[in-house]
Amino acid sequence: QQQVKQSPQSLIVQKGGISIINCAYENTAFDYFPWYQQFPGKGPALLIAIRPDVSEKKEGRFTISFNKSAKQFSLHIMDSQPGDSATYFCAGTQGGSEKLVFGKGTKLTVNP
Amino acid sequence: NAGVMQNPRHLVRRRGQEARLRCSPMKGHSHVYWYRQLPEEGLKFMVYLQKENIIDESGMPKERFSAEFPKEGPSILRIQQVVRGDSAAYFCASSGARYNEQFFGPGTRLTVL
């Protein structure tokens, strides 16, 4: 199976809070895990990505935590801002394949 | 540096008509991917093409759907005899080489009446 399960489906956070989105994958051959951000009416844009040889990657306010044994990874958005309100998708892909397998998305709303 | 361009942005077709969706990759990119996004769903891979070649079409429905990426011009996703279930957003992405980041276009929203 090449599924990626994402939760929660929607998330409401106050400005300045921490947003946490979780994903779990089944295919142990996956070796690249990107997160995409999508605003209404726009295409997804790559936010941050990680490979399983590291347990954490941080870029500004965005951090990916990766647990290879549990086949889980998560996105943390620190100091969440109203401009972060968007739909976030996690994805996975395996070496030798160009297919991105996406989760169903999390709609994040950051209240001012 | 223009990004991935898709047109039309919105397309309305009646059942049984043909839909043609176009994608121009970023300058210098020769790898194109098509994904479909149903309402409240994530994106689902359809096909991966390089110039004049289909590399992976494992996500394409077996009937009515076809894709091409000619030597000159944009990539085309063609849906023949559309049905209501084809209503979705269709996204194109491009990359400069295999295993590189995929840059997405704004999508074409297809509505089948």
Asked if the Cβ–Cβ distance from B91 to A43 is below 8 Å, we say yes
Q: Looking at beta carbons, which residues of chain B come within 8 Å of A40?
A: none
**pLDDT tens figures, A6-59:** 999 999 999 999 999 999 999 888 888 999 999 998 999 999 999 888 999 999
The per-residue b/e assignment along A65-90, b for 16 or more CB within 10 angstroms, e otherwise, is bbeeeebebbbbbeebeeebbbbbbb
Put simply, whether B8 touches A (Cβ < 8 Å) is no
Q: Looking at beta carbons, which residues of chain B come within 8 Å of A49?
A: 101
Q: How confident is the model at residue B101 (pLDDT cuts 50, 70, 90)?
A: confident
**pLDDT tens figures, B49-97:** 998 899 999 999 989 999 999 999 999 999 999 999 999 999 999 988 7
User: Looking at residue B98, what is its pLDDT?
Assistant: 65
Spatial contact of A59 and A34, defined as CB atoms under 8 Å apart = no
Q: Tokens for B2?
A: 């223009």
pLDDT at A96 over 90: no
What 8-state DSSP symbol labels residue B60?
Answer: S
Put simply, whether B41 touches A (Cβ < 8 Å) is yes
User: Looking at residue B1, what is its pLDDT?
Assistant: 54
- Mean of pLDDT values over A77-104: 90
Q: Looking at beta carbons, which residues of chain B come within 8 Å of A91?
A: 42
Using the structure block, give the residue that is written with the tokens 């951090």: A63
**pLDDT tens figures, B5-25:** 999 999 999 999 999 999 999
Asked if the Cβ–Cβ distance from A100 to B102 is below 8 Å, we say yes
What 8-state DSSP symbol labels residue B80?
Answer: -
Backbone φ, ψ for residue A84 (5° rounding): -80, -10
